[in-house]
Structure 1
Amino acid sequence: MGLKFRKYFLSKEKISEAANVFIYDYSKDVLKTFKINDLNFMACLSIYENSEPPPYDKSDFMIGFEVDEQLLSSSFVFIGKESPFVQGQLQRIVWQKIKSKYFPSNMEGKYFKDSEYSKGDSYKYETGDLQYFAQDLVKDNRVFARRLLVMDRRTKNKVYEAVYSGSLAPFDHQWTGRLFKNKPKVIFGFEYISFGCDSITFLESSEEAIHIDCDNRH
């Protein structure tokens, strides 16, 4: 695309030509860095429009910087002066199946009113001083939701809890650990987001989740 539109785009998005694009592939623990002024600026039709004949509206296009698509499969992207990412401290959660009776009772009653749901498969994961517990909530012979409880191994206090009831991801999609500099540990990967964009949740309730900007058009 032309220089005029590139300058207009950068101005509207408050991006400097001197900024960097940081692409962190957390599945491989690889961080790639590109300078904005080295990247091609481009527009391409959305996959929902490329089979339709012209004319096209400007909203039918995806606009941005050209990078290798292979870098974007399991990655987070940040544009700025310095990388916010911490490398080597994020782990894929490898769940170990446990008996339901070993799931901590801290959440009992809150999600089991009138025995509406039964306990499904239960899982456990440990790393450092934290214990992670996950359990399916079953209704009408199907998994209706999934609950998560994170406990401090030493104090036995609850660190974090959540219930997921959207499009549940398989039990090999979850990650936890430190992802950002000077930030608490995170956890993500429990749901597929069909509409809108996902968020990265911190294990400390005082830290607001980071909403991911994405192009999730339909």
Structure 2
Amino acid sequence: MKNLYVTFITFSLLASVGCNQKERSNSIEIKESKEAIKQVNVNSTTISKPIDSTENKPVIRYATAQSGLNYREKPYGKVLGKFFLNEAIEVVEYTNKYYEIADDDQIYEGTWLGIKKQKDTVYVVDAFVSDSPVYSDRKVYYVTSIDPYGKDENYKDNVNISEAPNYNSNFYSALDEEKTYSKKYFEWDKAYRDNFLKAGGITKYDQLHVTKITTGQVASYPIKDLKLIANVNVYASGSGEYNVYDFETCLELPENTNTDFDFATLAIDNPFETATDFKYLKWYPYEETESLRHLYTKRFPYLKSEFSNEPKTKLFYTSYNNYTIYSLDHVNKYNLLTRYVIVVKENGEITNSFIEQEGESTGLIPLNTDYLESSSQFAMKLFKNEPPLIYGLSSESFGCPKLYYLESNYPNIILSCDNRH
């Protein structure tokens, strides 16, 4: 099913790092601070500024506590419930009340935030609130076919693992930038291979696991048995002289590979599910109901009157096993589409929600309402002992597509696609 990667590239032409922090009620002690204190947990887990009351648009942030973010009736008060991991929340108050959290050997300091919850305001600690959702640090790659010699023959199956090392690692700064190469496809030498694998945290015990998601077929190959290949990127100069930055670094699958695999990952043991329960998704128009309006305003209280703002708003649903997935597609005054997705189980429980917004580098893929065979959207169980995922809601011209879990207890995944330009 290599059309996955082709579909992604097509939509891209047309059109962040996981932070697994959690609030552990059995180990966290919240203390009131008597004076203003400096925030210590900066990066992606603090909000960018105090709330400006003159702003007309809602201030939307995201809960980043892995096990759920406790909200309280008042600062230091009684816990009323939890916001899901990556749940979009509306900040309505930036208090001057400070806290100190002792979480094992780490100290978090900051202020309490007031969050809109239906008609009420509840309070959370800002150490677990971010400007953007957090994503898994798990790396999932595409399996692609490469025609190394441009002759439309002898295609080779490869997994581009260029993003395995951290780009801030010493490996990249130590590369011989002056060295040039004339070939477009070749095997890296031992020195490069050893340095690359070390920088990527890939050991001699790791294997490359590849899966065909429509059937659940999985194959595993020891890293030591695979060639580490240099393949010139399509955006590289055509002069015939290339440097190390012009190449993708790929693992070449054995010649006898005869199955169109889709996704790959690096690990000692195979994490992929073999009973994938793969399903293409077809979406159906859905009439607004009071119960669905309640679900949406419960999860996205700032939506207000978007439901009845036709023709700017369209509501769709699809199903996967015991999940119903709703999508509220809304076009704002700037003619940009925002997609609000809610996942609901048969018992009415909301198990996840997320937002996709059209922008300079993000395009929302139209929901498939026709034939299943033409659908670019599907759901499946990709990993063992984990909830199902949905794929194909958006495309990225400067980034990589996302896999969304249908349950909120796992951070969503940004595919490692090496989408360089």
**Shorter-chain TM-score: what band?**
0.7 to 0.9
Whether 1:88 and 2:275 are equivalent positions in the alignment is yes
Whether 1:59 and 2:228 are equivalent positions in the alignment is no
Segments ≥4 residues shifted beyond 4 Å: 70-74, 112-117, 139-143
Partner of 1:161 in structure 2? 353
Instruction: Count matched residues.
Output: 216
The offset of 1:40, in angstroms, is 1.6
Alignment check: 8 A CA contact 1:25 1:71 kept: no
Alignment check: 8 A CA contact 2:379 2:388 kept: yes
170 and 28 in structure 1: CA distance in 2 versus 1, 3 angstrom threshold:
farther
The offset of 1:28, in angstroms, is 4.4
One-letter amino acid of the structure 2 residue matched with residue 30 of structure 1 = Q
Tell me the secondary structure at the aligned position of residue 104 of structure 1.
helix
20 and 205 in structure 1: CA distance in 2 versus 1, 3 angstrom threshold:
same
Partners of 2:306 and 2:324 lie apart in 1 by 28
Partners of 2:357 and 2:261 lie apart in 1 by 23
111 and 72 in structure 1: CA distance in 2 versus 1, 3 angstrom threshold:
farther
The structure showing larger relative contact order (alpha-carbon pairs under 8 Å, at least 6 residues apart) is 2
Deviations 1:58-96 (A, max 9, x none): 21111232238x989872211121111112234334224
73 and 104 in structure 1: CA distance in 2 versus 1, 3 angstrom threshold:
farther
Partners of 1:169 and 1:74 lie apart in 2 by 23
Tell me the secondary structure at the aligned position of residue 198 of structure 2.
helix
The offset of 1:21, in angstroms, is 0.7
Partners of 2:334 and 2:230 lie apart in 1 by 47
Partners of 1:126 and 1:114 lie apart in 2 by 23
Partners of 2:237 and 2:403 lie apart in 1 by 31
113 and 74 in structure 1: CA distance in 2 versus 1, 3 angstrom threshold:
farther
Partners of 2:198 and 2:334 lie apart in 1 by 54
Partner of 1:75 in structure 2? 262
Q: For structure 2, which runs of at least 5 residues remain unmatched after alignment?
A: 1-187, 368-374
Partners of 1:114 and 1:183 lie apart in 2 by 33
Partners of 2:306 and 2:382 lie apart in 1 by 39
Tell me the secondary structure at the aligned position of residue 407 of structure 2.
coil
Deviations 1:6-27 (A, max 9, x none): 2222222222334211111224
Partners of 2:357 and 2:338 lie apart in 1 by 4
Partners of 2:258 and 2:314 lie apart in 1 by 34
Partner of 1:146 in structure 2? 339
Partners of 2:403 and 2:409 lie apart in 1 by 14
One-letter amino acid of the structure 1 residue matched with residue 227 of structure 2 = N
Whether 1:137 and 2:330 are equivalent positions in the alignment is yes
One-letter amino acid of the structure 2 residue matched with residue 152 of structure 1 = K
One-letter amino acid of the structure 2 residue matched with residue 58 of structure 1 = V
114 and 96 in structure 1: CA distance in 2 versus 1, 3 angstrom threshold:
closer
Q: What does 1:1-218 correspond to in 2, within 5 Å?
A: 1-54=188-241, 56-67=242-253, 75-102=262-289, 104-105=292-293, 106-108=295-297, 110-113=302-305, 118=310, 120-139=313-332, 144-154=337-347, 156-166=348-358, 167-171=363-367, 172-218=375-421
The offset of 1:115, in angstroms, is 7.9
Alignment check: 8 A CA contact 2:343 2:353 kept: yes
One-letter amino acid of the structure 1 residue matched with residue 419 of structure 2 = N
Deviations 1:98-127 (A, max 9, x none): 343258212145334578953544322233
190 and 202 in structure 1: CA distance in 2 versus 1, 3 angstrom threshold:
same
Partners of 2:238 and 2:215 lie apart in 1 by 34
Q: For structure 1, which runs of at least 5 residues remain unmatched after alignment?
A: none
The offset of 1:183, in angstroms, is 2.0
Alignment check: 8 A CA contact 1:151 1:159 kept: yes
One-letter amino acid of the structure 2 residue matched with residue 107 of structure 1 = Y
Tell me the secondary structure at the aligned position of residue 163 of structure 1.
strand
One-letter amino acid of the structure 2 residue matched with residue 168 of structure 1 = L
